[in-house]
Structure 1
């Protein structure tokens, strides 16, 4: 019943709407009645599911604008406010407005940026659904403070740049910007513009959904540890029964996790100095760029639990699966064809002959939410454990075998190896997420 209730709760949360308004005070380019199609071609403006999700009471989204003066930022912000009039706009330019007139004073610039950050901080503390940072943010350090705020208060942040045809045309920008920024200054700003490639892309949950799933995971993990002497042996070195607080402390789940944002990684990109395979190609692909800031539903089907990790298994729906890129799965596919892993599975196969693999396991099988790890265990270990579990499940399926399950409140648990167990939920959970970078 708890799973059914949780599923209904997550479904209803996307339908809950609340309206309100806070004026932006921004001023950059003259607002026009005509908006280029490409300018407004963002999921949060055009996609009905995304708009419904961002309007819900559970939304915690920060839109960080990026673009030179005259590029169309203010026109884009106006379009966003039409869809989400309750948004809070934080703009350093607003503090240069005197009696309805924009009066730039370089000596006030630092103080105005501090006031802008203070307003954003206050909006985060109040839990405003959508916060818009309407500054140029040309270099990464300029918007780092807002990224830090988003992380601190559990907001998913989306970097938004105008898609106007003239956004990189210095002469056109100099002509269009309202603040009479000259051509030479515009050219200098264009040269200093820093491209941003995130460390990874993924699907991010909101704080309410994350908190609920953390609580569900705790209940499920505790019951698994109570019912499995081998798991207690792996964790504590003996098979004695342990109180819940000690088990939670083992996974650092005893201090509360309110505000922690769960996510499912789509592609790890790394850094410029240590890039992942296809880093730039993935980042620049039309599929990825058109999906940033878009709402996706993901299906949670169960868990994987070991003495090292607690993870929740994710089944990606077809649209999301197009964005999923995990080289580790491809490496495992090669191992399947070469049957290098088979010896490890024999102990659970009861001498059943394992057939040669002609069909590879499904793509996207290692998608997951890392819930918790033991002290000193990196989060990526969840991916490795889950891939091992998928290998064993596929081998069992190919051999026509099933393992008996032990009932727990949320479903059933099966021991695949001495080191880890899987949980299958009686009813999967559908949650809404936002796709973006971190």
Structure 2
């Protein structure tokens, strides 16, 4: 019934942008080009690389290396190929210049696992357009910022005679800004994500066979039909890309997100492979989720402002207790509720003195905490491969 995710830690080592501070593109370390474990995970994940920088900053060189590293599954879409010269300040009337390039990008998305776009990408309007394209096809976005050593625009202009120093200066301010995503997090590799979804559905199938669960859960479920209640249909709202959020940023509106995005640990971790440990599955009348337990290195990416969480009854939880993967939500609920439900469950486990009703299941002990809250601590944890990045496309609904 259950499909286990088998992952060899020895053979392994999930959207964000940080400026390169190296003296040249050749001197910068890129996990997706050099780290063997990251390269293996990239090969089984849909990724969308947006190379960003002034003309002559080395974008084309990096783009070619990506395509060479991932032959047959990658493609480069280049503005230079279509003879599109970047304008210091783009306008809506300039967008038609990108028609042929955009047509190529759309054709590549879905046909190739790895799509690389080589252009200056110095306007937010252009970036937002590409973010939306990636979101439609469920690609993980990686922004690769390339900057001239010591901001030496004179040398850059001399090596690239098509642009004057003044023209480069007009493009530079926007390129110096870090692009803050909606949230940072670990994004599951496609195969592991599908197996997690399968495990979640198996969990629902098995727990629904238990009369104790059915009687207790249905009382609290937000459904008009209690007699014909269907657990799987109830949890139809599922995220298209499974991930474990570290920092919710709301594109820069959340306090401390700028410092988090600009931190060395985030910059060093972007596009890198991480193996997460799933230790439990839990269900409430609002959400279905998986608890993630972070190791010491992964803890470094968990924001300090998410430290121990307390409640009115003075129950304190360890750092990163909220770490989770949202698997599904009930109608009207948002993914952010999953982490709140997990904290509520963990507090209940610690604070309630009376023994909880328990059900032995195939993969672990399932415990009822009342009010439709159940958690199954896995006998054998599930390991999932992820890539660390950020989600950039504009979202209008609440997320985690």
Q: TM-score, normalised by structure 2?
A: 0.82
**Structure 1 341/195 Cα, relative in aligned 2: closer, same or farther at 3 Å?**
same
Structure with the largest fraction of helix = 1
Paired with 1:37 and 1:149, the residues of 2 have a C-alpha distance of 27
**Structure 1 385/92 Cα, relative in aligned 2: closer, same or farther at 3 Å?**
same
Aligned to 2:48: 62
Aligned to 2:285: 307
**Structure 1 239/52 Cα, relative in aligned 2: closer, same or farther at 3 Å?**
same
Matched, 1:53 2:9: no
Paired with 1:233 and 1:410, the residues of 2 have a C-alpha distance of 26
User: SS of the counterpart of 1:197?
Assistant: coil
Paired with 1:237 and 1:153, the residues of 2 have a C-alpha distance of 32
Paired with 1:122 and 1:286, the residues of 2 have a C-alpha distance of 36
**Structure 1 429/172 Cα, relative in aligned 2: closer, same or farther at 3 Å?**
same
User: SS of the counterpart of 2:109?
Assistant: helix
Post-superposition offset of 1:78? 3.1
- Pick which of 377-386 and 387-396 moved more: 387-396
Paired with 1:381 and 1:113, the residues of 2 have a C-alpha distance of 40
Q: How does 1:150-189 map to 2 (within 5 A)?
A: 150-166=134-150, 168-177=151-160, 180-189=162-171
- Structure 2 gaps, min length 5: 13-22, 392-400
Q: TM-score, normalised by structure 1?
A: 0.76
Post-superposition offset of 1:208? 3.1
Paired with 1:37 and 1:162, the residues of 2 have a C-alpha distance of 7
CA RMSD between the two structures? 3.1
Higher relative contact order (CA 8 A, sep 6+): 2
Aligned residues: 370
**Structure 1 139/195 Cα, relative in aligned 2: closer, same or farther at 3 Å?**
farther
Aligned to 2:79: 92
User: SS of the counterpart of 2:250?
Assistant: coil
Paired with 1:213 and 1:169, the residues of 2 have a C-alpha distance of 48
Post-superposition offset of 1:409? 3.5
Q: Does the 8 Å CA contact 2:52/2:143 hold for their aligned counterparts?
A: yes
Post-superposition offset of 1:300? 1.1
Q: Does the 8 Å CA contact 2:54/2:147 hold for their aligned counterparts?
A: no
Post-superposition offset of 1:284? 0.7
Aligned to 1:29: none
**Structure 1 37/131 Cα, relative in aligned 2: closer, same or farther at 3 Å?**
closer
Post-superposition offset of 1:138? 0.7
* Post-superposition CA distance 1:2-34 (Å, at most 9, x none): 24xx322x559x89xxxxxxxxxxxxxxxxxxx
**Structure 1 285/409 Cα, relative in aligned 2: closer, same or farther at 3 Å?**
same
Which protein shows a greater Rg? 1
